[in-house]
Amino acid sequence: MRCKDTTALVTGGLKGIGLAIANRLAEEGSTVFITDIDKPSEDLNANINYINADVTNELDWKRVAQLIEDERGSLDILVNNAGVDCVGPVQKTSLKNWRRVMSINVDGAFLGVKHCYDILAKASEKRNGGASIVNISSMLSKVGYIDTSGYNASKGAISSFTKAIAVEFASKNISIRSNSVHPGFVHTPLLQQGMQNLVNEGVADSVDVLLDMLSEMTPIGRMAKPNEIANAVLFLASDESSYMVGSELVIDGGWTAR
């Protein structure tokens, strides 16, 4: 029960990494809310409270923060996870697509912190480690990759934003910690769809060929499972990481260690 008696919010919690994080936090005693633009399937864990909300919509954020305040009084853990990719050579990337990835990946996290600030501050005094914000960045905030410049830029922005608010809060004695998580390739619907798009463009014969290639390119020889990212988020969300402020936790099977 590493998050006993806490309240958590995970954005984009219906699939992939967000779903694994929501389940892991719930297993460790947190009352978990998730937001998503998709509709939940029937097998969603009954302990998880689903709210239909778009991270790019400020009115949605106000509604979500109010709902959590009404039901729980405060928020201990905010995980800004919702994200999309943006694949293609920079010279062929449309401004519309660039703005879409920035809007979901960057504006979404900013709006989450802005509108959850009051309920996070309310929770901050209750725990030794204070309230905790975990922003899901990527190893691609740290190294370049072919044909993903918009995505890389959005994840770099998340790292800088995380450090800025971490220092801002700590310097003002506000007990809200903020840290970022940097996964390598994780087998999720996002990655599957990204590979399918490349197959559709004729880059490879099948998704499996591309997935095998990504595994071979990773020093550990495989992609991550969503739960391997969720375990790191759990650590940052819990009081166990009480001295971690503005740090970057890289979970990439050795990709950026080369």
Ligand X SMILES: NC(=O)c1ccc[n+]([C@@H]2O[C@H](COP(=O)([O-])OP(=O)(O)OC[C@H]3O[C@@H](n4cnc5c(N)ncnc54)[C@H](O)[C@@H]3O)[C@@H](O)[C@H]2O)c1
Binding mask 50-89 for ligand X (x = CB under 6 A): ----xxx------------------------xxxx-----
Total chain residues near ligand X (CB under 6 A): 28
Distance CA 240, CA 155 (A): 25
- Considering the complex, what minimum distance in angstroms separates the CB of residue 156 from ligand X? 12
Would you count residue 18 as binding ligand X (CB under 6 A)?
A: yes
Query: In angstroms, rounded to a whole number, what is the distance separating the alpha carbons of residues 21 and 33?
Result: 11
- Running DSSP on this structure, what letter comes out for residue 41? P
The interface region with ligand X, picked from 30-38, 62-70, 122-130, 198-206 by CB under 6 A, is: 30-38
Residue that has been written with the tokens 């864990």 in this structure: 45
Name residue 8's beta-bridge partners: 32, 77
Site string for ligand X, 170-209 (x = CB under 6 A): -------------x-xx-xxxx------------------
User: Has 145 been annotated as catalytic?
Assistant: no
N-to-C CA span, the chain:
36
Task: Give how far Cα 38 sits from Cα of 82, 114, 138, 150, 216, Å.
Answer: 11, 23, 23, 23, 32
Q: Which chain residues interact with ligand X by CB under 6 A? A: 11-12, 14-18, 35-38, 54-56, 81-84, 104, 136, 138, 183, 185-186, 188-191
Enumerate the active-site residues.
151
